[in-house]
Chain A
Amino acid sequence: MSITGKIEVQDKDILGALGAFFKRVLETDDINAILVPQHLSMKNMVMPTLVTDPEQLNGVDPLAPAFPMNAAKIVSRLTRKQMGSKIAVVLRPCEIRAFVELVKLKQGQMDEVMLIGMDCLGAFQNKDYLQYVDRHGDKSTERFYQDVLDGKQADIEGATLASACMSCENPVPTNADILIGLFGVEIADYLLVQSQSKRGTNLLNQMHMTEIPEPASRQDAITAIVAQRIACRDEMFVRTRAATDSLEKMTAYLANCVNCYNCRVACPVCYCKECVFVTDVFNHDPSQYLRWANRKGVIKMPTDTLFFHLTRLAHMSTACVGCGQCSNACPNGIPVMELFRTISQSTQRAFEYEAGKSIQQEPPLSVFYEDEFPEVVGINS
């Protein structure tokens, strides 16, 4: 049975209310630690922090428009073996979806984590966030969520949200144990809490939340924002397909890639422990480069750029959750997310799969059935 309750907000201090709520979570018998984004005292940046002392939750800021990394990777680190303790983790919806993919790949487990998902207002790219925070200092987060909830998200004083966020059709978490809702809620007065699983219900019961019905305005607000995001996403798909639909255009799209592989490092679902592209397989014999150059008279260095991206698409596009961390990490401004989301829409659809949606459904390349895909067999199909 799901419980819907409220977190009271005093003096419009939403972050304070969230901090107090997380403190109560940490004080329950079930939870020994909490992973939550906080303002670092030494720099105006928000990073995931692992907290065991309830007094160390004063900088809690999960609403900051900062998304320095996809924290599914952190949760995977914390849960790859039994920890012997229970932790609560506060995540964005795309972080939960990436974590679900990692759990299915046996790179994390759910038993010891309580997933707290927040309605996601989106975030800036890293460099834009730093500028935003320079301009608005302490008031950055407050300014941001007010603007977004007032419907101004497309362009907030010069900076736009990351393209991944603008085209994200999943701003409301699924597969969380507990959801914290903002859309369609009078956040000046309260935030919504809702359990999405049995253990979530148990935890909320222990915390004696004041129960309320879900506000009537919530579903409409969600429908409206999702429609807006889907329109933006579909436009992005059309744009990206047009920019990459031949080998020549694809080559142009990726021409300034320097094979730094930051996109792969930042990707939460690039699951190999050692990527083949950093092994000796790609440390070619020096004479090999000349043989390649000889064939057409010229090659671009470093080589294997398109090979890298196409291989990554083949290996992980069925697991892409569209978080945009690849684009965020690219030093050369290549719209990596756009490419990966566009292709992954086709590959996920081909296997009737949606990354991060279901814990039960096996990843497409981990299963097979005897009778399937007859259309790809034979030379006359």
Chain B
Amino acid sequence: MQDFEPTIIAFVCNWCTYTAADLAGTSRLTYPKNVRLIRVMCTGMVDPQYVIKAFLEGADGVLISGCHPGDCHYINGNYKARRRIKLLKEILPQFGFEPERLRLTWIGASDGIQFAEIMDELVDQVKALGPNQAKLKMVI
């Protein structure tokens, strides 16, 4: 397990968390290459099926990250995202997926440093959980 390198799929909104990631980059901060960013316009467009697909394809962790409450550029997309995460955190653990594999955070456009720190910590957490079972076994 020592050299287990997890894959984390991060759905980040264009206006806040993606901008924060960009800022981290231009500030020459580093964050682990385990995190694969998928830029979406808003967290409100992340259908639960994207998360399910990521897990079934073997992602070890999934992060959804967008603007702080009140800052969503589409007014309330992040509130909708929060309900969907609540929903998925009810469903996925029933099939043995640890709820900690799925995370929701608010990282604002100017939070470059915070972005890098959260990614570091997230990767450590998922490493500790070990590989997603879907990676190893046949999924129908």
Contacts and interface: CB of A to CB of B under 8 A. Distances in A.
Interface stretch (A79-87, A138-146, A314-322): A314-322
A350 B52 contact: no
Q: How large is the interface on B (under 10, 10 to 19, 20 to 34, 35 or more residues)?
A: 35 or more
Contact of A247 (B83, B84, B96): B96
Interface stretch (B25-33, B34-42, B86-94): B86-94
Interface in A240-257: 241, 244-251, 254-255, 257
**Max chain B CB contacts within 10 Å: which of A254, A369, A376?**
A376
Interface string B108-131: 000000000010011001000000
A303 B86 CA distance: 27
A368 to B, nearest CB: 4
B133 to A, nearest CB: 5
Interface residues of A, number: 45
B120 to A, nearest CB: 10
B9 to A, nearest CB: 15
B79 A305 contact: no
B59 interface: no
A57 B56 CA distance: 52
Contacts of A351: 83, 86-87
Contacts, number: 118
Contact of B90 (A241, A255, A310, A346): A346
Given A306-B56, A310-B52, A314-B49, A350 B95 contact: no
Interface of A: 241, 244-251, 254-255, 257, 276, 296, 298-300, 303, 305-307, 310-311, 313-315, 317-318, 342-343, 346-347, 350-351, 364-365, 368-370, 372-373, 376-379
Return the 3 tightest CB-CB contacts between A and B, nearest first. A314-B48, A368-B79, A246-B96
Given A246-B133, A346-B90, A377-B105, 18 more contacts: A247-B97, A247-B137, A250-B95, A254-B140, A298-B138, A300-B138, A300-B140, A307-B52, A311-B49, A314-B52, A315-B48, A350-B86, A350-B90, A365-B84, A370-B69, A373-B82, A377-B82, A377-B106
